[in-house]
């Protein structure tokens, strides 16, 4: 991870191949007159785990939504795995991307939302196999094999034949994690994935994510208020304020010795 304001490169996991997997360059996002992201530049290297922190409304979720192409930037470019998400090259010129192009680039990205967003009318197994079969073109057998492996990873093998409504929130969120991973994305986006859970269910979900962070090569971009989790999994933490990164660095430093007054204020309110 690097930002224009970042100087530190201390990390606990080396980058898988050292290349930048996510690149935001001069990205500005406005909603009406509200400038949510202001000429934002940051990169995330392949295999890194980066956590976005900052006050409510500082633009963290908007960054994840831009990567999912749920919203579009007014200015600037976003690259994923070397391809422009928002633009494509036609006749040697960079032009706004077609839906088709963005969809292809977005296949590199999986997202887990605060509100699980499972298909309520499908059993657990089909929730996980649906996209690999219909988007990636896997055979039903291949997709089911993949789903079974992932259900084991998230500890839900015995719930394979249940509907989401028969599961706890924590179990539903673990299905959502398995569903995102079933697409074998290079990047996993996590948007406050434990915020909607009863407190006693939070640890189980975070344990699964810690396991994934520590045992796979997946790149993670995470928005969370769980600071202990952020400390455990992050190579770098980006502190946002008013649509800009005001400070970044390894969690050991950001949490114990923040440089910026706004970071100190924010951390004293949440830690
Ligand atoms: N679809 C939208 N239409 C209008 N304004 C929006 C929209 N989405 C986000 N915003 C505004 O953009 C700003 C940033 O929102 P965002 O959700 O990215 O912040 P955040 O840092 O993730 O906050 P939180 O920690 O509360 O989730 C807020 O002022 C929000 O009201």
CA distance linking residue 174 with residue 37, whole number of Å: 31
Question: So what's the pLDDT on residue 18?
Answer: 54
Average model confidence (pLDDT) across the chain? 91
In this predicted structure, the answer to whether residue 8 has a pLDDT above a threshold of 50 is no
Which of 2, 47, 48 has its CA nearest to residue 25? Answer: 2
CA distance linking residue 191 with residue 214, whole number of Å: 19
Q: Which residue's CA lies nearest to atom 3 of ligand 1?
A: 31
Question: So what's the pLDDT on residue 90?
Answer: 87
- Reported as a pLDDT band with limits 50, 70 and 90, residue 19 is confident
- Residue among 28, 35, 36, 51 whose CB has most ligand 1 atoms within 8 A, to mutate: 36
Q: Where are the domains of the chain?
A: 2-108+185-270
* 195, 204, 228 from 251: Cα distances, Å: 21, 22, 10
Instruction: Report the pLDDT averaged over residues 9-27.
Output: 63
State which ligand 1 atom lies nearest to the alpha carbon of 59.
Answer: 18
Instruction: Report the pLDDT averaged over residues 172-189.
Output: 97
- Residue among 59, 221, 225, 239 whose CB has most ligand 1 atoms within 8 A, to mutate: 59
Strand partners, 192: none
How would you label 197-225 residue by residue, b for 16+ Cβ within 10 Å and e otherwise? beeebbebbbebbeebbeeeebbbbbbbe
Q: Which residue's CA lies nearest to atom 29 of ligand 1?
A: 57
Give the residue carrying structure tokens 């006050």: 55
**Residue ranges around ligand 1 (CB below 6 Å):** 31, 34, 36, 54, 56-62
* Distance (Å) from CA 172 to ligand 1 centroid: 25
* Distance (Å) from CA 245 to ligand 1 centroid: 16
Which tokens go with 156? 């839900």
Which tokens go with 157? 């093998």
CA distance linking residue 17 with residue 28, whole number of Å: 29
Q: Which residue's CA lies nearest to atom 24 of ligand 1?
A: 56
CA distance linking residue 85 with residue 104, whole number of Å: 9
Question: So what's the pLDDT on residue 9?
Answer: 32
* Distance (Å) from CA 34 to ligand 1 centroid: 10
In this predicted structure, the answer to whether residue 174 has a pLDDT above a threshold of 80 is yes
Q: Which residue's CA lies nearest to atom 25 of ligand 1?
A: 56
3-state secondary structure the chain: CEECCCCCCCCCCCCCCCCEEEEEEEEEEEECCEEEEEEEEEEEECCCEEEEECCCCCCHHHHHHHHCCCCCCCEEEEEECCEECCEEEECCEEEECCHHHHHHHHCCEEEECCCCCCCCCCCHHHHHHHHHHHCCCCCHHHHHHHHHHHHHHCCCHHHCCCCHHHCCHHHHHHHHHHHHHCCCCCEEEEECCCCCCCHHHHHHHHHHHHHHHHHCCCEEEEECCCHHHHHHHCCEEEEEECCEEEEEECHHHHHHCCCCHHHHHHHHHHC
Question: So what's the pLDDT on residue 6?
Answer: 36
Instruction: Report the pLDDT averaged over residues 100-114.
Output: 93
Question: So what's the pLDDT on residue 38?
Answer: 93
Q: What is the pTM of this model?
A: 0.90
Q: Which residue's CA lies nearest to atom 4 of ligand 1?
A: 31
* ipTM of the shown complex: 0.96
In this predicted structure, the answer to whether residue 83 has a pLDDT above a threshold of 80 is yes
> Phi and psi at residue 198, in whole multiples of 5°?
-60, 145
CATH 3.20.20.450 for domain 2-108+185-270, yes or no, is: no
């Amino acid at each position: 991870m690097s930002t224009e304001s970042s100087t530190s490169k201390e990390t606990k996991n080396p980058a898988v191949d050292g290349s930048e997997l996510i690149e935001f360059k001069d990205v500005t996002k406005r909603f009406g007159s509200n400038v949510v992201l202001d000429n934002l530049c940051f990169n995330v290297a392949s295999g890194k785990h980066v956590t976005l922190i900052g006050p409510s409304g500082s633009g963290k979720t908007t960054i994840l939504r831009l990567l999912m192409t749920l919203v579009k930037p007014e200015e600037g470019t976003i690259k994923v795995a070397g391809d422009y998400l928002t633009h494509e090259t036609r006749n040697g010129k960079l032009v706004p991307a077609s839906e088709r192009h963005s969809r292809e680039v977005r296949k590199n990205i999986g997202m887990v939302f605060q509100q699980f967003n499972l298909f309520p009318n499908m059993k657990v197994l089909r929730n996980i196999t649906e996209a690999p079969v219909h988007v990636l073109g896997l055979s039903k057998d291949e997709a089911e094999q993949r789903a079974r492996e992932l259900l084991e990873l998230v500890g839900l093998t015995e719930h394979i034949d249940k509907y989401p409504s028969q599961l706890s929130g924590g179990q539903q969120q673990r299905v959502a994690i398995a569903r995102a991973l079933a697409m074998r994305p290079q990047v996993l986006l996590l948007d406050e994935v434990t915020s909607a859970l009863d407190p006693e269910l939070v640890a189980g979900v975070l344990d699964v994510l810690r396991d994934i962070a520590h045992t796979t090569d997946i790149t993670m971009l995470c928005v969370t208020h769980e600071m202990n989790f952020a400390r455990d999994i992050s190579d770098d933490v980006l502190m946002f304020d008013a649509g800009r990164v005001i400070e970044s660095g390894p969690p050991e430093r950001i949490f114990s010795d923040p440089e910026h007054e706004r970071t100190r204020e924010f951390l004293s309110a949440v830690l």
